């Protein structure tokens, strides 16, 4: 009987009996009524216990989930229940969620008729990468009387790996392909010149470059035909992720490094779809994962596994070490997408000499973050003198971020200042822009 639990309904009845006995002391005529009520409640409890414990539980429950969860995305979990008995039951389902979610209040209640099947669906949004362990499923079963409950434990320990967002990767892949590049968020960049490989001759449509008209083909078909070119392929593109302490700052529960990791996976997929070569390098005070830029079928899986295992570090970024690693690892000119963060102009000026040297040999794009919380502070209403001081400091901080962009562009370095939630979109647009301009 260790899985026997008394319900709130029982305690309400028990409280009513105590009150009735209390009233019976000054009014002896109430004692028979109180005794009768006590015997009735006791009999109901015994009947309820017999219904629940007199036979094996006829409730079945199974948890279904994907073997891999996507970081920062809603991931579905399904609980399938079956009342295989002959009684109508009230169920309270408590799923033991992984400790990373810090949720101890998960409970779903439902009523099931005999031989009825039911489904409970809910979503989980993980904010850290790694292994997540689900525990048992506890189902508290009660009859219509509802005086006692029986806990039925379904031992279903499951482990799920939380990887960088595969859901976002697939979503941006669809939006970034050329034939639907006009969708919201993806910019359609006008091509400049013809430094591309010839692909095919197609019918002229409004908006095509008239300089691409193939007059010989047009005369044969009696319709305007244009030459279509495709982007240059097999260009090397490396995502470089800073995993030092400056990337540990959280926004919406997710660290800047995890935003960068999600973006790295999404942009790497698009790079490979565009027939370019994708590579990876992570660094802080030491060099982390390194993957040579390749276009092989398994390259995206290698990048996914490498990103899954990366951890933030507490040390400072060593840009000299990064420079040596890049010079040793990358022999040809490549596009470098550097995901980092600078919180002050002093921090940028320390790294600037190394960034300039990198930009001399490669096309460097520095991607860093706008502090959205400070932006919100800079635009909130002020009511006191202290609010004015805080708002002034916030605006100075935002202006300094813009000056960092100007500073980088002054030395010919491409720069992106973006909100964390817009990181993937802005990075993809930058990559597509550079390809359309023929810079890589």
CATH number, position 280: 3.40.50.410
CATH number of the domain to which 35 belongs? 2.60.40.10
Same domain, 267 and 326: yes
The residue out of 163, 178, 211 marking a domain boundary is: 163
Structural domain total, the chain: 3
Determine the pLDDT at residue 185.
58
Same domain, 296 and 170: yes
- What is the span of the domain harbouring residue 398? 166-190+233-436
Same domain, 239 and 157: no
Same domain, 221 and 320: no
369 and 419 in contact (C-beta within 8 Å)? Answer: yes
Same domain, 377 and 270: yes
Could you tell me if residue 82 is inside a domain?
A: yes
Same domain, 117 and 222: no
Could you tell me if residue 285 is inside a domain?
A: yes
Residue partners of 423: CB distance under 8 A and separation at least 6: 259, 260, 262, 263, 339, 367, 369
Could you tell me if residue 271 is inside a domain?
A: yes
Determine the pLDDT at residue 192.
44
Given the DSSP bridges, would you call strands 137-142 and 89-95 parallel, antiparallel or unpaired?
antiparallel
Determine the pLDDT at residue 204.
81
Q: Can you list the residues of the chain whose pLDDT is less than 70?
A: 1, 27, 176-199, 207, 229-233
Same domain, 174 and 132: no
Cα angle for residues 275, 276, 282 (degrees, 5° grid): 140
Strand order in the sheet with 59-65: 59-65, 75-83, 117-124
Report the C-alpha gap between 349 and 354 in whole angstroms.
Answer: 10
Same domain, 225 and 327: no
Output the CA torsion sign for 199, 201, 205, 207.
positive
Determine the pLDDT at residue 186.
57
The residue behind tokens 């539980």 is 57
Same domain, 248 and 289: yes
Could you tell me if residue 22 is inside a domain?
A: no
Average pLDDT across the chain, whole number: 87
Determine the pLDDT at residue 15.
84
Same domain, 262 and 374: yes
- Cα distances from 213 to residues 54, 179, 189, 208, 227, in angstroms, run 86, 20, 20, 9, 6
Same domain, 419 and 351: yes
Could you tell me if residue 3 is inside a domain?
A: yes
Same domain, 339 and 406: yes
């Amino acid at each position: 009987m260790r899985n026997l639990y008394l319900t709130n309904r029982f305690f309400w009845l028990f409280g009513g009996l105590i009150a009735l006995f209390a009233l019976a002391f000054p009014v002896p005529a109430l004692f028979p009524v109180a005794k009768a009520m006590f015997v009735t409640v006791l009999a109901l409890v015994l009947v309820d216990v017999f219904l629940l414990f007199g036979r094996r539980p006829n409730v079945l429950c199974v948890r279904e989930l994907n073997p891999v969860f996507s970081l920062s995305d809603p991931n579905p979990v399904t609980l399938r229940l079956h009342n295989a008995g002959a009684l109508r039951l009230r169920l309270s389902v408590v799923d033991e969620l992984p400790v990373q979610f810090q949720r101890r209040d998960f409970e779903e209640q439902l009523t099931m008729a005999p031989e009825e099947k039911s489904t409970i669906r809910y979503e989980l949004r993980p904010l850290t990468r790694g292994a997540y362990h689900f525990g048992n499923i506890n189902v508290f079963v009660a009859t219509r009387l509802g005086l006692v409950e029986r806990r039925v434990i379904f031992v279903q320990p499951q482990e799920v790996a939380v990887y960088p967002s595969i859901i976002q990767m697939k979503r941006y892949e669809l939006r970034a392909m050329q034939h639907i590049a006009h969708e919201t968020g993806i910019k359609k960049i006008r091509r400049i010149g013809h430094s591309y490989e010839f692909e095919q001759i197609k019918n002229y449509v409004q908006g095509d470059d008239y300089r691409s008209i193939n007059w010989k083909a047009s005369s044969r078909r009696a319709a305007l035909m244009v030459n279509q070119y495709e982007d240059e392929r097999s260009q090397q593109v490396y995502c470089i992720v800073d995993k030092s302490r400056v990337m540990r700052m959280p926004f919406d529960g997710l660290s800047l490094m995890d935003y960068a990791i999600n973006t790295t996976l999404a942009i790497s997929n698009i790079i490979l779809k565009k027939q370019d070569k994708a590579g990876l390098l992570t660094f802080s005070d030491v060099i982390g994962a390194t993957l040579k830029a390749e276009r092989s079928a398994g390259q995206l899986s290698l990048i996914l596994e490498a990103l899954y295992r990366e951890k933030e570090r507490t040390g400072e970024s060593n840009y000299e070490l990064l420079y040596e690693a890049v010079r040793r690892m990358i022999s040809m000119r490549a596009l470098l997408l550097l995901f980092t963060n600078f919180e002050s102009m002093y921090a940028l000026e320390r790294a600037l000499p190394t960034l300039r040297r990198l930009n001399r040999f490669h096309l460097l794009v520095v991607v860093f973050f706008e502090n959205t919380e400070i932006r919100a502070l800079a635009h909130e209403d002020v009511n006191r003198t202290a609010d004015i001081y805080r708002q002034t400091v916030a605006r100075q901080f935002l202006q300094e971020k813009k000056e960092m962009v100007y500073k980088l562009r002054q030395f010919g370095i491409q720069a992106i200042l973006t909100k964390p939630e817009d990181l993937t979109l802005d990075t993809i647009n930058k990559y597509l822009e550079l390809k359309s301009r023929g810079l890589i």
